[in-house]
């Protein structure tokens, strides 16, 4: 049974996990090693793909004082060999007597660590699973679904316009709202637009005003040719119109969360395919008239309307920002975006 001391050490492991990169192919993990007398002798966290796992870092910091002690880990210790050896073997070799972890590993390649530890004679307990999963929300989704989580971000007036009749669109929303866009970009592994948006706006698709360890992958989806001098940053041009194929390609590149920032054609294609998981809508208190924010994505009657679950609504300067979860079943089988 977990004690209040167990929960205290496990929460510290969660704090350490949050030090890892939010945008990474691997989950963020933290670990605390307590010796047999109950003293903290080592701490560690995973710094990104290819670096030592949190358990190994914490055991190294313990310098041999872990024998007979307890390891507190935010994620079930892995039992597979990837770029680094299995954490289960490291814990067993160090003489750890007990392991308390938070989130059960959803990755079938790495899961089963708890069973291996028990088979080796270690005591194993678990707690705070929901808190741990929140730290790796996008990674957990990607592992369970085999594709990145998709966030569609859009900015419109109250009447659903994203541009005026003459095509001007900068800026519909306030500087405060645009600062939130950069924070959202910083939490994503890729930013995706269609060729229409790329050709019309030549967007930078970079994080600005926030210090990041690496920029999101800039992605353009569509068959139209792009000029060689498009923007000044490298980009990935996926020369097809299939949202599912695009996500499969990005998943294979280690992207766990994608931000859609294209126009209505791109968003409509992903919604039609059932591949939008969250909507972040920036709403400016202005009116332009005449124009929908979305095209037809297969809803023919009110009973088939796509339901959203509002997660939060808040102000950013004069604007409102609403975040909502979306169901992920396709409306129709047809997929594809033209050149939006």
Answer yes or no: is 96 within a domain.
yes
Q: Is 134 inside a domain boundary? A: yes
Pseudo-torsion of CA 35, 89, 256, 14, nearest 10°?
-10
pTM: 0.84
Quote the domain boundaries for residue 259.
Answer: 146-326
Alpha-carbon gap, residue 60 to 19, rounded angstroms: 18
**Considering its fold, how many domains does the chain have in total?**
2
Do the strands 40-45 and 30-34 form a parallel or antiparallel pair, or are they unpaired? Answer: antiparallel
Q: How far apart are CA 37 and CA 291, in angstroms?
A: 68
- Tell whether omega for the bond before 41 is within 30 degrees of 0, i.e. cis: no
- Supply the pLDDT for residue 231: 54
Q: Which of 93, 118, 140 is a domain's end point?
A: 140
132 and 164 belong to one structural domain: no
| Residues 113 and 196 occupy one common structural domain | no
pLDDT given at position 330: 47
Return the structure tokens found at 121.
Answer: 């004679």
CATH number at residue 280: 3.40.430.10
Asked whether residue 16 is domain-assigned, the answer is yes
Identify the pLDDT of residue 116: 94
Q: In the listed set 90, 122, 140, which residue is the last one of a domain according to the structure?
A: 140
Distance CA 155, CA 321 (A): 9
SS (H, E, C) the chain: CCCHHHHHHHHHHHHHHCCCCCCCCCCCCEEEEECCCCCEEEEEECCCCCCCCHHHHHHHHHCCCCCCCEEEEEECCCCCCCCCCCHHHHHHHCCCCEEEEEECCCCCCCCCHHHHHHHCCCEEEECCHHHHHHHCHHHHHHHHHCCCEEEEEEEEECCCCCCCCCCCCCCCCCHHHHHHHHHHHHCCCEEEEEHHHHHHHCCCCCCCCCCCCCCCEEEEECCCCCCCCCCCCCCEEECCCCHHHHHHHHHHCCCCEEEECCCHHHHHHHHHCCCCCEEEEEEECCCCCCCCCCCCCCCCCHHHCCCEEEEEEEEECCEEEEEEEECCCCCCCCCCCCCC
The residues, ordered by sequence, that sit 6+ positions from 169 with a Cβ below 8 Å of its Cβ are 162, 163, 201
Report pLDDT for 340: 38
- 225 and 93 in a common domain: no
Q: Which of 140, 161, 177 is the last residue of a domain?
A: 140
Phi, psi for residue 136 in degrees, rounded to 5: -120, 45
pLDDT digit string (tens) for the chain, length 340 residues: 578 999 999 999 999 999 998 888 999 999 999 999 999 999 999 998 888 999 999 999 999 899 999 999 999 999 887 777 889 999 999 999 999 999 999 988 777 899 999 999 999 999 999 999 999 999 999 999 999 999 999 888 877 777 776 666 677 788 888 899 999 999 999 999 998 888 877 788 889 988 888 899 999 998 888 877 665 567 899 999 899 999 999 999 999 999 998 788 899 999 999 999 999 988 888 877 765 667 777 777 777 788 888 999 999 999 889 999 986 554 444 333 333 3
Return d(Cα 181, Cα 175) in angstroms, integer. Answer: 10
* 335 found inside a domain: no
Residue 51 and residue 154 in one domain: no
Whether 340 is in a domain gets the answer no
Catalytic residue among 55, 76, 180, 261: 55
Please state, in angstroms and as integers, the Cα–Cα distance from residue 168 to each residue in 42, 161, 208, 265, following that order: 56, 11, 22, 18
Instruction: Please report, for the domain that includes residue 69, its CATH number.
Output: 3.40.140.10
Whether residue 134 sits in one domain with residue 186: no
Q: Are residues 208 and 118 in the same domain?
A: no
Residue 333 lies in a domain: no
Cα separation, 277 vs 327, whole angstroms? 7
63 is catalytic: no
| Angle at alpha carbon of residue 77, lines to 71 and 82, rounded to 5° | 135
């Amino acid at each position: 049974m977990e004690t209040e001391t167990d929960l205290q050490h496990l929460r510290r492991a969660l704090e350490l996990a949050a030090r890892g990169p939010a945008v990474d192919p691997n989950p963020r993990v933290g670990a605390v090693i307590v010796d047999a007398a109950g003293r903290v002798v080592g701490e560690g966290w995973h710094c990104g793909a290819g670096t030592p796992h949190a358990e190994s870092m914490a055991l190294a910091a313990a310098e041999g004082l872990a024998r007979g002690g307890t390891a507190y880990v935010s994620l079930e210790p892995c039992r597979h060999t990837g770029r680094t050896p299995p954490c289960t073997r490291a814990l067993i070799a160090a003489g750890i007597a007990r392991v308390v972890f938070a989130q059960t590993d959803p990755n079938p390649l790495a899961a089963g660590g708890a069973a291996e530890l028990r088979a080796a004679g270690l005591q194993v307990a678990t707690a705070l699973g929901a808190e741990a999963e929140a730290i790796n929300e996008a990674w957990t989704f990607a592992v369970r679904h085999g594709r990145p989580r998709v966030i569609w971000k859009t900015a419109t007036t109250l009447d659903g316009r994203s541009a005026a009749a003459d095509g001007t669109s900068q800026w519909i929303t306030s500087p405060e709202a645009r600062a939130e866009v950069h924070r959202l970009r910083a939490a994503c592994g890729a930013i995706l637009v269609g060729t229409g948006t790329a050709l019309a706006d030549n967007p930078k698709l970079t994080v600005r005003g926030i210090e990041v360890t690496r920029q999101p992958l800039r992605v353009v989806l569509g068959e139209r040719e792009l000029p060689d001098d498009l923007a000044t940053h490298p980009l990935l041009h996926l020369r097809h119109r299939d949202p599912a194929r695009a996500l499969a390609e990005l998943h294979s590149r280690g992207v766990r969360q994608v931000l859609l920032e294209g126009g209505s054609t791109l968003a409509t294609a992903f919604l039609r395919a059932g591949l939008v998981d969250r909507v972040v809508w920036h709403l400016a208190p202005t009116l332009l008239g005449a124009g929908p924010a979305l095209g037809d994505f297969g809803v023919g009657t009110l009973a088939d309307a796509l339901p959203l679950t509002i997660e939060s609504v808040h102000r950013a300067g004069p604007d409102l920002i609403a975040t909502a979860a979306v169901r992920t079943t396709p409306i129709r089988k047809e997929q594809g975006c033209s050149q939006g």
